[in-house]
Structure 1
């Protein structure tokens, strides 16, 4: 995962060479092209960032976000404060980085988990499944992050908005491609369908986080996407 350009395979809905700043939050990192090894220096930087991130997340789980200090994070990660701030300008940036990792997981899906001949519906289902499974792995952590975003933390809200913009842009691009390929009805605007899908995703996540029941977010989203496509699928 190195700073640079967002590069995807031919079926990825953004053009090869798309600037990161056009889609992702400023300063985001993206996955390297598959089979392109990272230079040693970049690999070392990523390892250091991951070490800080993992140390922070472990402390957040034990003590909570508010009660964890930067000093405790650097001590656990065995790095200096200067090194910490080289990678994370503030403590909240660690939570933002988790969101970036979700975006990376989506891109990785296009390389390894989505067949070349997959329909747009199958592609969207797979993306939502990947995101849901990532959330299910870390429900307490996701709940913590959402709680922090909903508080008056402008930096987190800005980053969250940038992440949502990427997600909606991805959905819109895929839907538009589905319309061009005759899979989705053209009478609906791609942007509006993307906004509906985006709303379905976030409302489902919030409801799942608020529930004490052992509900499957993966199954819930799959069922809702199926209902939506019953109405927009080109017969």
Structure 2
């Protein structure tokens, strides 16, 4: 996955020096992810990353203070990509179910498109305690969608949107953790996320007992 490298700052094109710095940072980041996929996060050293990126060891620390900062960059890049997709989606006048389906599909695509690196980075993300300390951006997006559904009259008005947002995030992460190990016969992530969403939207009771 390419690290986010904006080409403008405050509405102005980046100068040659800034473009050069962006290229170096990008080279370090992509070299690190390649090595993580090849030999694991724990098995990769900063020296190896610098060597693969063809920079001095000290140059690495000009852009990342610790190896763990690469995990943060990875997570932030995914957050930016999902926010971009959903920001465009939420400008459309679609039904709440369409927005939820689009969000789940986008989450699946983020992971399935990078099948070789996602399990490695996910494990490093968990080991670093990021799920407990980072802003739960997926929960925030789900919360926004549920709020929209309430305004549409499609979601019950007494539903706690934030609670549902966190529930959907928990379901997503649980599915992601189960999918992450590359075992044969496992259903694709997008299939499981779609199944989870169906249960959330329709419930689990097949009938109601008469009162």
Taking structure 2 as the reference length, what is the TM-score of the superposition?
A: 0.79
Show the counterpart of 1:8: none
Gap change, CA 1:85 and 1:119, over 3 Å in 2: farther
| Greater mean alpha carbon deviation, residues 138-147 or residues 178-187 | 138-147
TM-score, normalisation: structure 1: 0.72
Taking structure 1 as reference, are residues 80 and 135 closer, same or farther at Cα in structure 2, changes over 3 Å only? same
Secondary structure in 2 matching 1:139: coil
Partner of 1:94: 70
1:54, distance to aligned residue in structure 2 (A) = 0.8
Distance 1:37 1:119 in 2: 38
Conservation of the 8 A alpha-carbon contact between 1:143 and 1:209: yes
Greater relative contact order (Cα 8 A, min sep 6): structure 1 or 2?
A: 1
Contact 1:129 1:218 in 2 (8 A): yes
The 3 A distance-change label for structure 1 pair 227 and 131 is same
Which consecutive residues of structure 1, in runs of 5 or more, have no partner in the other structure? 1-28
Separation of aligned partners in 1, 2:147 and 2:90: 18
Which of residues 193, 197, 200 in structure 1 aligns to 2:168? 197
Kept in 2: contact 1:96–1:160 (CA 8 A): no
Deviation at 1:108, TM superposition (A): 2.1
Structure 1 residue 70 and structure 2 residue 46: aligned? yes
Counterpart in the other structure of 1:215:
187
Q: For residue 199 of structure 2, what is the aligned residue in structure 1?
A: 227
Change (3 A) 1:109 1:194: same
Corresponding residue for residue 146 of structure 2: 175
TM-superposed deviation, 1:196: 1.4
User: Which one has the largest radius of gyration?
Assistant: 2
Q: Which runs of 5+ in 2 are unaligned?
A: 204-211
Would you say 1:124 and 2:100 are equivalent positions? yes
Q: Within 5 Å, which residues of 2 pair with 1:13-162?
A: 38-40=13-15, 42-110=18-86, 116-151=92-127, 156-157=128-129, 159-162=130-133
Q: Residue deviations 1:160-188, cap 9 Å, x none?
A: 33445222222222212221232211121
Is the CA contact (8 Å cut-off) linking 1:31 and 1:108 kept in structure 2? no
Deviation at 1:91, TM superposition (A): 0.7
Q: Is the 8 A contact 2:89 2:99 kept in 1?
A: no
The aligned counterpart of 2:209 is: none
Q: Do the aligned partners of residues 169 and 162 (structure 1) sit closer, same or farther apart at CA in structure 2, a change above 3 Å counting?
A: farther
220 and 77 in structure 1: CA distance in 2 versus 1, 3 angstrom threshold: same
Please give the secondary structure, in 2, of the residue aligned with 1:46.
helix
The aligned length equals: 196
